[in-house]
Amino acid sequence: MSNANDKDVININRRRMLINTTSAMGAVGIVGAITPFVKSCAPSEKAKAASSPITQDISALEAEKMMVVEWQSKPIYIIRRTDEMLKNLALGNPKLRDTHSNESNQPNYAKNVYRSRDPHVLVMIGVCTHLGCAPGFRPEANTSLDSKWRGGFLCPCHGSKYDLAGRVFDGSPAPLNMEIPKHKLIGNTLTIGEDT
């Protein structure tokens, strides 16, 4: 025969069972809610592809010409420079803000007056360091642009000037030289985004 105490024990046991069941279901719900979130944080195949290195055949690129390819949703300027252009870069230019690229962004092997691995081939992110416009390629010497203009890049947005190694002219609104991405060149096969 049960008494009041027995009923209390039964009720307490039932309550515990209900609490345990509800907690377990809640935990399943939380795991279910977290899984899609974790999945959505993982980089998509498209994002992975966009950040992967790309390879470009530059055999058709002529001297003094520029080719533009896209990498990481940014324009990559590839310029084949002549001996004359290299000579001008080596001469230096008193108008440059950061001649030795001490404050600018490039791999160590591009921290030189040419800002490239192979002096004849400039590989550069074609994005102005002021507000991100794409500077135009102006390879010709032209003193109407600047008394020291021996070819370079001119930003159409607010007039920043860069030399043929992407080094910014003092007085431009752009604060830094244009960025050089990791790259390697084997023959005419250029890889952008990888340098080992």
Residue 56 or 177: the one with the smaller Cβ distance to ligand FES is 177
Which amino acid would we find at residue 1? Answer: M
DSSP 8-state secondary structure symbol assigned to residue 77:
E
87 contacts ligand FES (rule: CB under 6 A) = no
75 contacts ligand FES (rule: CB under 6 A) = no
Copy the structure tokens of residue 122. Answer: 């400039």
The interface region with ligand FES, picked from 1-9, 75-83, 89-97, 151-159 by CB under 6 A, is 151-159
The residues near 155 (Cβ < 8 Å, ≥ 6 apart) are: 128, 130, 133, 135, 136, 161, 162, 172, 174
127 contacts ligand FES (rule: CB under 6 A) = no
Backbone angles phi, psi at 177, to 5 degrees: -65, 155
Q: Is residue 108 classed as helix, strand or coil in its secondary structure?
A: helix
124 contacts ligand FES (rule: CB under 6 A) = no
For the CB of residue 157, give the shortest distance to ligand FES in the complex, in Å: 4
For the CB of residue 80, give the shortest distance to ligand FES in the complex, in Å: 24
Interface residue with ligand FES among 158, 175, 188, 189 (CB under 6 A) is: 158
> What are the residues facing 56 on neighbouring strands?
190
Helix locations, the chain, DSSP H: 4-41, 45-51, 83-91
For the CB of residue 169, give the shortest distance to ligand FES in the complex, in Å: 11
Distance, in Å, from the CA atom of 184 to the CA atom of 196, rounded to the nearest integer, reads 7
Interface residue with ligand FES among 130, 150, 167, 183 (CB under 6 A) is: 130
Residue 71 or 169: the one with the smaller Cβ distance to ligand FES is 169
CB 78: neighbour CB atoms within 10 A? 21
Residues that contact ligand FES, how many (by CB under 6 A)? 12
Q: Binding residues for ligand FES, per CB under 6 A?
A: 128, 130-133, 155, 157-160, 173-174
